[in-house]
Structure 1
């Protein structure tokens, strides 16, 4: 089980940016479940406070940008003086301590803010306690506690799910980021192997392409040298001609390899279409069967359930349960009576009493439409299956042709070796060295391509496991997202499971990766224009779709025990949607142990009151970390402190919008 970090406490000591209450040099906040607010003005350190929590948990590292990165390290170092440069004394004595829960285990970690080095960390659970003093040991322990296989996966969870900070890392809009997140969360036991194979594919593909480029240059150079030889004998002429044929066969081989890769990609696409057609046919069949059942339920209205069972059994199985013999004609007659709106028992026209429903014309139209849809989906499935079979046959035919071309090339190379024995020894030696170099390069190209293909076969099996794991939670994720998004957006919004197809290297085959995307129906244009990309939505819509997607994954996969940290959630909202955003955050974690921490400016409107609407006005102050009182003041705050304090008081006393 994956355990997301649930932040319980943060303590900062001797850090000039946060002198704390009454200049005690101790800044502390304790978080329970539900929403919490960090309030302040520009320059007071709201964003820095959230980053402090993130770096206390992960240390001075970040993950590379999402995408297929080859064999490069996933973790990248960041400036470990990030907090030291923000204060005059270089944070020499400053430290930060954070306490989080992961499942039933409590983890406390303290770091120096001068260089983010770990000072100590402790683990406490019902069955053990442990103290940690080194970074390597800490990384191993927190990786195990989170339930992931690699420390970089834990960092990816922090940046991709738990922390939505000023430098936004999109998730709902980035299919590659979703793949890496699902790999870490849904198949943690396979995550490292998937990453290793990905690196092998990218590396082997890159090496094969570089060798092919080198091989092309050497071949061109050899051909130019061959042209300069004006005194070529018949033997040289024959060797040159045969070499030209070999070169042509090599080019044909490369062309066939590329064509096979393209057809393989097409076959994968048609396989995906076949699966979709099978799913759509299944949906259409279920819809039609549902309408048939509704029609039969109405036809048998008034008949006792035990008696209904006899007739329904005959209609469905075409077997008489009395004599256990085939009853096709009897079943057909019952169906015809039902279709003709006659009593299925005696065949007389039905006379309906007030408390019995009739089969309406609308029901007949719906049934007819459903049957038409069913037949259409059957035809689509047949076409998709035929296309997929055709692609299989095309791949096989191309592979056969490739084998023939390679065989012909070997035969001609053998002939050249026999002819070369008739050349002078020195020329034979020079040509032999050049040909040997070309042959070695060709073997290396083939070898690296075989390595890539082997890794591709292995990763394909692992990706199938990941896709099945994603599909098991697909419906829960879609429903939870749609439920949270509906009250916030004015447009119709829904999350759909839409696997993406991509190549891992520049060459090779394509793969299907699990992914979700958002469909938003615009009300600003005529008809129903569906927006699916970040460029088609506003900044606030882009951010809140991503926030809701993170909320959904934390809720579905986090066992209702997680923290969500959001920086500047009010920034791009207008007056109406500020209230809706407050309602969204107030509802999140309402019935769970999770919490959400929002850092925002002191703003008018319904955002803050609605976020804290579950609390009485006199209790709201306890949900607020007021940096006006605990952070080092800016010049604006020094001059305007009374006005700001009064604004905070007014905002917290304001009634929320309903």
Structure 2
């Protein structure tokens, strides 16, 4: 293992002028993450996942691996590229974001304190400070390469992969324990010496490149073989007259294909034009509808104000329900006591609804409004809504036509390209006026087959080099076998009730490329008991365990790797808790697993940042260590309140919170472990 590997540990994040996170009194968000577990709590749609994504992207920036793939063990292009239009956060708020909307992340990397600020509109770097000193990277990838060098990893690409897929267990998480190639990729990044890791990466890239070239050329060769005429005694020589006829036929076919292509292209372009026109009409209708609805609200209000000009009128209208025995128009209460209370407030000069002081009971500057004017606006709004619905119906029809037309368009493109290739190929075979007809196609096929044989031999040679490098990796993994087995078994047993054993295998088949021979790589597998297997047996696939077992065994594997690479330094894990797959018993076990990884009040800073829904389960109090052995829940002490980030207090309330029933349920849930304020 390479020495002195450090990974980022987030200390604090601030967010300014971003509508999703206005904070208390619109002061923005300022969150400090304490050692141990910090729980980001809220309900669906309130911004928990977006906040975790922001923490990740504040470190990594708007970058992704080139030719990103879900199978991280099969990447040959180990490079990062910038995302051309990174609008993940700007799309989550209305209106354009200016330069005053930015976030700042404070984190440590080894002995360095790093402060990076990024604009929320596109996450580009605003400023960077390293241990108090200003640092100006030339580009985003330059900054990630710099962080990679500070971490002790071999490249910015390796740093990106470790942070994104090992330290962050979010929505885009990938299986590590259950994917042999992914396991070996992270063993290579974290534990293998630079010479061995580089040998593996170089050989893998060469095998992939050669294999791609081989398969593409073989495909073209097979098409050329299909172009050969049937074997005859004179098949070695294609007569010039026959070749000219084939060229003429190919030219006619290409002309027809070109005509079909242009027709389909014009049809597709026209449909796109119609869709854009409907989009503009829809936008204009929505704007006009919003304006009319606002005008209607104002007109409706003025009509009521005009109808009830004096304080006495308003009082008589609102109290009519009590007077007639129908009860309050708002809540339905029929208590006469409420009638007396309302009268007392009004006589004392206070509004009984909002308790404001009544200065003047008569409205001023009220334009007389007739009910006909109100109805006219209602009719306009209804007509506009019907028009908008018709536009949406037309858009759906056009989108379906575009879907059908795009398929025909692609077929026409392929047909045209194929016809052009065939014509050009035949024209190349035709000798010039000064040449005698020669055998060209068969000779070219033979030369191409010889070239493919050389490529196949080169692929075998690099596969042998890769296998040799794997053998060196086997030795290193054998040295770490005992440590990994012990740590993973400990974490897995902490979560599962079953007996768990970890097995090390040196002979897991791994397919490097389509045409390459398989190579056996070192991996770890889980053996465990179950209700039907009293003796622990091997679980090679993720579908051989339950959903909750799969998720948290994979999490335990990440914890194990972080412990092994950490070497008693600060460490962090960010988790989007998969509560949906857990029953109440597993929730407590999962919380215990996370608290075991990041205990509080230790000499070494260890952190878990986890999201959880306020949904009536014990997950949040369990994560905070508030659930007792008998199942009772204690209150969160004041000195530990910073371990709970309650987004219900820091974000705009979603529509669900407009319902009193929902508010009552959430208040009751939080009241189980929070002191009343």
* Partner in structure 2 of residue 649 of structure 1: 671
**Which structure 2 residues correspond to residues 495-514 of structure 1 after superposition, within 5 A?**
495-499=502-506, 500-514=508-522
Distance 1:444 1:31, change over 3 A: same
Matched, 1:480 2:524: no
2:19: which partner in 1?
16
Give the match for residue 203 of structure 1.
Answer: 209
2:563 aligns with one of 526, 533, 555: 555
Specify the SS of the correspondent of 1:651: coil
User: Offset at 1:468?
Assistant: 2.6
Residue number among 633, 645, 660 corresponding to 1:625 in the alignment: 645
Which of 567, 573, 576 in structure 2 is aligned with 1:564?
A: 573
Indicate if the aligned counterparts of 2:14 and 2:104 stay in contact, CA closer than 8 A. Answer: yes
Q: Aligned-pair distance for 1:97?
A: 1.2
Kindly indicate whether residue 523 of structure 2 is the aligned counterpart of residue 515 of structure 1.
yes
8 A Cα contact 1:109 1:118, kept in partner: yes
Superposition deviation, residue 595 in structure 1? 0.2
The question of whether the paired residues in 1 share the 8 Å contact of 2:500 and 2:536 is answered with: no
Cα distance in 1, alignment partners of residues 669 and 223 from structure 2:
73
Task: Tell me by how many angstroms 1:469 deviates.
Answer: 2.6
**For 1:501, what is the secondary structure of its paired residue?**
strand
Structure 2 portions without partners, runs of 5+: 239-432, 627-634
CA 23–485 in structure 1, closer or farther in 2 if over 3 Å, else same: same
Corresponding residue for residue 80 of structure 1: 86
Distance 1:165 1:32 in 2: 20
Q: CA deviation at 1:119?
A: 1.0
TM-score (norm 2): 0.62
The within-5 A match list for 1:445-456 is 445-456=452-463
CA deviation after TM superposition for structure 1 residue 442, in Å: 2.6
5+ residue gaps, structure 1, are 233-425
d(CA) in 1 for partners of 2:589, 2:226 = 67
Within the candidate set 33, 39, 42, 1:40 is matched to 42
TM-score by length of 1: 0.64
Q: CA deviation at 1:135?
A: 1.7
1:636 to 656, 663, 672: 656
Counterpart of 2:60 in structure 1 is 58
Distance 1:230 1:502 in 2: 44
CA distance 1:652–1:188, change in 2 (3 Å): farther
Provide closer, same or farther for how the CA distance between residues 557 and 635 of structure 1 changes in structure 2, counting only shifts above 3 A: same
RMSD: 3.1
CA gap of 1:132–1:101, structure 2 versus 1, over 3 A, is same
From the superposition, tell whether residues 22 and 460 of structure 1 become closer, same or farther in structure 2 (CA, over 3 Å).
same
1:441 deviation in Å?
A: 1.0
> Where do 1:226-375 residues align within 5 Å?
226-228=232-234
Q: Distance in 1 between matches of 2:476 and 2:117?
A: 36
Distance 1:636 1:429, change over 3 A: same
Residues 137/202 of structure 1: CA separation in 2 closer, same or farther (3 Å cut): closer
Which of 625, 636, 652 aligns to 1:613? It is 625
Correspondence for 2:605: 593
Change in CA separation of 1:489 and 1:178 when aligned onto 2, cut-off 3 Å:
same
| CA deviation vs aligned residue, 1:71-94 (integer Å, no higher than 9, x gap) | 585657375100001111233232
Q: CA deviation at 1:70?
A: 4.7
Matched, 1:142 2:162: no
Q: Structure 1's 652 and 586: CA in aligned 2 closer, same or farther, altered over 3 A?
A: farther
* Contact 1:71–1:200 (Cα < 8 Å) also in 2: no
CA contact (8 A) 2:178 2:542 kept: yes
Distance 1:632 1:436 in 2: 73
Counterpart of 2:415 in structure 1 is none
Total equivalences in the alignment: 458
Does the 8 A contact of 1:56 with 1:116 survive in 2? yes
Does structure 2 conserve the Cα–Cα contact (< 8 Å) formed by 1:628 and 1:637? no
Residues 298-328 of structure 1 show CA distances to partners (whole Å, capped at 9, x for unaligned) of: xxxxxxxxxxxxxxxxxxxxxxxxxxxxxxx
State the shift of 1:450 in Å. 3.0
Displacement of 1:142: 0.8
> d(CA) in 2 for partners of 1:576 and 1:217?
61
- Work out the CA distance in 1 between the residues paired with 2:52 and 2:223: 55
Q: Which moved more, 1:197-206 or 1:66-75?
A: 66-75
* Structure-2 separation of matches of 1:636 and 1:616: 26
Pick closer, same or farther for the CA change 1:90–1:512 going to 2, 3 Å: farther
**Matched position secondary structure for 1:598:** strand
C-alpha distance in structure 2 between counterparts of 1:230 and 1:459, whole Å: 43
